[in-house]
Amino acid sequence: MSEIVLSATPAHLRHGSNIGQPLTRRDGILKVTGGARFAADNHPPGMLYAVLAVSSVARGRVAALDVAAAKAHPGIVEIMTSANKPPLALDPDAKTNPFMRRLELLQNDRVRYANQPIAVVIAETLEAATEGAALLSPRYEEEAPRVRLDAAESFVPPAVGVGHPSEAEIGDVETGLAGSLRRIEATYETPTQFHNPMEPHAIVAAWDGDALTVDTPSQGLAMAQARIAELFGIPAENVLVRSPFLGGGFGCKGLFTGPQVLGIMAARLVGRPVKLVLRREQMFGPVGHRAPTQQTLRLGTDADGALLGLSHHTRTASSTFDDFFEPASDVSHTLYASPAIRTSYEAVRLDTGTPTFMRAPGEASGSIALESAIDEMAEACGMDPLAFRLRNYAELEPISGKPFSSKALRACYAEGAERFGWKARPLRPREMRDASGLLVGWGVGTATFPALMFQGQARAVIRKDGTGIVETGAQDMGQGAWTALAQIAADGLGLSMEQMEFRSGASNLPDAGIAGGSAHTATAGMAVAGAGADAIAKLAALATGDERSALFGAGNAGVIARDGRLFRRDDESRSESYADILNRAALAEIEGRGSSAADPIAQANYAMHAHGAVFAEVKVDPELGQIRVTRLVGAFAAGRIINPRLVRSQYYGGMIWGVSFALHEHGEIDPRSGRPMNPNLGEYHVPVNADIPSIEAILVAEEDRHVNALGIKGVGEIAITGTAGAVANAVWHATGRRIRRFPITLERLTEPAPR
């Protein structure tokens, strides 16, 4: 099967709009009953198993591999090394577009980071392949690794994020700070973080001559298809990428990775289908991560607490062989009004895998530093943190001077504060305790994320029985895209959900763009809506030009599509069913096509962002330093809401990740070997149920007429940006200790304060 077809179930939605309804997930039953087939669940006939052998050093070269010992092990079919790998049509270190990453595909014996693939063992069983990998017993010529931000000379990167300038400034920051009555300067450190979706990277690859079928988790099917075709020198139409289900992505599955390509190479080498699945510890290195940062913020205000200058400088890192620089300072472009703002960067090259997009790239790291600094500035001014944020509320985007396409942040502050009970918060820290004597603290953080949109396509068909099909190569990595997009599709065709099939999850469907940047619903949704509108327009042309139709001559007045019928807009008593129109025209079906792209005029004239405010309560043991988040309230404004149930789920996920960022999550890298020291879900700490309280997410009404025709903004990443800062600020309010190195751990909270 080349795509997943999901049928709808809710009979109560036969009338009225599907958009805005809190439908349950259309793929939910498949997942809870085990019917959902993820990439590694595929097992084509004759399939072999491949296991990566990875480097245990971070810098040097592989001096020797005991290939003979490994090949002698029962069940081993082949060992793929740099000596016998299949040829590629493109240098893996070449980059033909900015979204491409340089890949480690056994080019040579060099080791550029720990956990880099150095060989692939292919066997009849997974056990044999695993044992064969151990028997390779690699020997290295090792060099001292560079893995800390102070381990190499810094430089100014040519760009950060996706082509953003590494320096930006309005006004004169130094003059503004010099003229400020109150000033702060503080440096905040965020750690290396690793993507840990429940489903690791996996691939099942099967060649048939020069045709290739791969089952692999991908946030960008068409991009993966093009990358594979380019590497192997075959037409893109020869490559079928199937990704009906993703067990989480968070950015690491947005770009095709080295291990996935190695699986395809292994299948070509042995001439049989091959399955390769990364072990959990192998996710720490070859598939990207969030880079560490050191961020220095300088803020100054006048006597009334109005910002006069804001400087945000970030030091971050990329690998020695590729470029991706975490755009942490850029969050200061959009949130707070100041006549003078400067953002700047420096970077170092380290012996690590290349960083990549990780949920809210730049905004997550940058906002916890900015929101902490804003709180520190509010304290210096003797102001309530929320009042200080409102005092410096930006009516225009500060860095560009553009008006916002919409901005309901004031309503987010108001509704969130009211629900949380913020008015009862004492100004000074360490003034609240619960009945058991635990210190209680309340904090607030502002959430923001750009409202992005990429290019996408979709196809819609109305069949002669009155039912419809909508197809787009979209991805659902757990956010509910299949449900939300199906709702848009049904409305676009004027059908009930039961009358329509929604097909997705394969590269042989129209390209829906990448599921990233919180842009997937807007991108694919606009394409889907456009395809439906195109099909309806063609159907209407048939009817209004046919003298036998009740709609004849209604071309100028127009028609309305609803419940599988077309109605005259000026006289709804005159209507005709889709089936009657097509059958009379002797057509089996009628097809519409739709595409989507950001409006360059609107982008030039407006700043487009979603906004929110998160309020957090923590309780801290005054003697042990143990921290528990006990309450979270978030209020978010993100344009038109397609499915409030799914949107709340996304907000919950982001808020939980914000707690993780503030209190739990960090990769420990051994500075001697460069190896990750906690590459598993036991020691790489993320929150569990006991760490998370009841969470409330308020959906603040917002209409945006400029961001796109449907008024959709993304929700997948925004909630992490406000929550991490809110939790950090609540810890200060509870304890009076401002921890600037994240995550805030028991040890950091209880260590002696710096003099």
The per-residue pLDDT for range 334-387, each reduced to its tens digit, is: 999 999 999 999 999 999 999 999 999 999 999 999 999 999 999 999 999 999
d(C-alpha 475, C-alpha 480), whole Å? 9
pLDDT, position 4:
46
Percentage of the chain modeled with pLDDT above 70: 97
pLDDT, position 7:
39
pLDDT, position 288:
97
d(C-alpha 693, C-alpha 448), whole Å? 23
Least Cα distance to 121 among 135, 107, 108 occurs for: 135
Least Cα distance to 348 among 297, 283, 294, 289 occurs for: 294
* Sequence-ordered alpha helix ranges (H) in 28-155: 28-32, 67-71, 126-135
The answer to whether residue 466 scores a pLDDT higher than 60 is: yes
The answer to whether residue 11 scores a pLDDT higher than 60 is: no
The answer to whether residue 112 scores a pLDDT higher than 70 is: yes
Selected residue with higher pLDDT from 1 and 393: 393
The answer to whether residue 754 scores a pLDDT higher than 80 is: no
The answer to whether residue 316 scores a pLDDT higher than 50 is: yes
Mean pLDDT, rounded, for 198-212? 98
The answer to whether residue 104 scores a pLDDT higher than 90 is: yes
Q: Indicate the pLDDT class of residue 8, thresholds 50, 70 and 90.
A: very low
Max Cα separation, the chain? Answer: 89
Least Cα distance to 566 among 533, 594, 593, 539 occurs for: 539
The answer to whether residue 13 scores a pLDDT higher than 70 is: no
pLDDT, position 742:
98
pLDDT, position 99:
80
pLDDT, position 755:
56
Mean pLDDT, rounded, for 513-520? 96
Phi and psi torsions of 749, nearest 5°: -75, -30
pLDDT digits (tens, 9 = 90+) for 612-636: 999 999 999 999 999 999 999 999 9
The sign one gets for the Cα dihedral 432, 436, 437, 443 is negative
d(C-alpha 752, C-alpha 755), whole Å? 9
d(C-alpha 200, C-alpha 217), whole Å? 9
> Helix or strand or coil: residue 448?
strand
d(C-alpha 52, C-alpha 605), whole Å? 50
pLDDT, position 98:
78
Task: Please report the domains of the chain, with CATH numbers, ordered by start residue.
Answer: 4-36+456-596 (3.30.365.10), 42-144+201-282 (3.30.365.10), 365-452+603-750 (3.30.365.10)
Least Cα distance to 369 among 633, 656, 755, 728 occurs for: 728
Mean pLDDT, rounded, for 461-465? 98
To 10 degrees, the CA torsion angle through 730, 733, 738, 742? -10
Structure tokens given for 727 = 């939790």
pLDDT digits (tens, 9 = 90+) for 131-173: 999 999 999 999 999 999 999 999 999 999 999 999 999 999 9
pLDDT, position 289:
98
Residue 243 corresponds to which amino acid? S
What residues are labeled active site? 717
pTM equals 0.96
Structure tokens given for 143 = 């060099």
Angle CA 206–207–211, to nearest 5: 125
pLDDT digits (tens, 9 = 90+) for 427-438: 999 999 999 999
d(C-alpha 659, C-alpha 631), whole Å? 11
Q: Indicate the pLDDT class of residue 557, thresholds 50, 70 and 90.
A: confident
pLDDT, position 9:
35
Write down the mean pLDDT value for the chain. 96
- The H-or-E segment that residue 300 falls in is strand 293-301
